[in-house]
Amino acid sequence: MTSQYRVNYHLRSHKRDNLIEFIKGMLLTPFVLHPHDEESKATQEQENANRYAGIFGSIEMLIDEHRELLQAGIPTHSRLAKLVPSIGTFFTRLPLEAAFRHINRTNRISARKHVPPSFNDIRRILNMAQVMAIAPELQLVTFDGDMTLYADGQNFADDSPLTVLLIRLLRQGINVAIVTAAGYGTDAMRYEQRLSGLLRGFAKEELTPAQVARFYVLGGECNFLFRCRADYRLEFIDDTMYASSSLRSWTDTQVQQLLDVAEAELADCVRRLGINAQILRKPRAVGLVPHEELTREQLDECALSSQMALLRSQGAPKSEPCDVPIPFCAFNGGSDCWVDIGNKLIGVQILQEMIGSPPQ
């Protein structure tokens, strides 16, 4: 059996999250111990909903305790850390019980008799809880482009249902940004082409200059920033106007030297794997563009080979790509392989500085 996923399959764990697995285990108990009685379906469903809600309420309290001990500098002392040792940082409270009840009204999780709460159910509830937590003070929403707002390699469609939702965010005073790996340098027209349906939607709805000025596009991970003008076109913002030295301290000479290493490694992959491909060099990226379809494994090999070469070149073979002097991304793009200077974390931090909303 083959997987439908072609992107970075070997570079990430698939549908594995220890917190979600822990919650799944907790929810399995009432599902098994309290089967539905055919004669009182409505009562059973409500009772199951209350049991599930109680479990989410308890986990909510565990997270609250963990956050308190994190602020005190002793997060490993929390009960949650002992139950889920790999637990990370929670930046906000998570109203999990309220989120479950909201999702359950639509999805009727508590009415199911044969399928217990799943990974996707719990992830949806966690996402809803996060939205509920940040909504009152939300100032910035960022999205990826390919495979998030539109299909991989395609353009934003004129009839996309997302247009209405993004316009609603802008009208409510929220900054919206697309942070994408797609890198076309300072060529605003290339980005306009990819986002043509959305920009036409702005024009059709006659968004005001103040509203469209809250729409940003950040290409090449974190390298090329654009803002929407009153005429619904994108305008490049030179990085001297926003780039913080603490976020992007590297020089162009250093960047080109790193790209030289990446280009040489990709060329070696072409030779070693017998790939028929072109090596394409850009100002802040270098990529392998095949002339024929490659397997997922071939693309993963190119990405991992490039990653290791760049880590070694920066004297940190055991580090992560985000923890070296010049952060980078080496990734399987599904049909090609790219190495980009910087990453989307830096991109989001740049946008936070731009709008004056540092992380809390």
**How crowded is residue 141: how many other Cβ atoms within 10 Å of its Cβ?**
13
Q: What are phi and psi of 142, to 5 degrees?
A: -120, 145
Q: What's the CA angle centered on 111, arms 108 and 117, to 5 degrees?
A: 75
Question: DSSP states of 84-98 as a string?
Answer: STT----SS---HHH
Q: How far apart are CA 291 and CA 263, in angstroms?
A: 17
- Among 37, 144, 152, 238, which one carries the catalytic annotation? 144
- Among 17, 37, 64, 146, which one carries the catalytic annotation? 146
Q: Is residue 146 annotated as a catalytic residue, yes or no?
A: yes
Helix axes 96-107, 119-134, angle to 10 degrees: 120
Closest CA to 258 of 202, 222, 310: 310
Q: How many CA atoms lie within 13 A of 165 on its CB side?
A: 7
Which SS3 state, helix, strand or coil, does residue 167 take?
helix
Q: Is residue 144 annotated as a catalytic residue, yes or no?
A: yes
Tell me which DSSP letter residue 195 carries. T
**How crowded is residue 203: how many other Cβ atoms within 10 Å of its Cβ?**
12
Which amino acids are annotated catalytic?
A: 144, 146
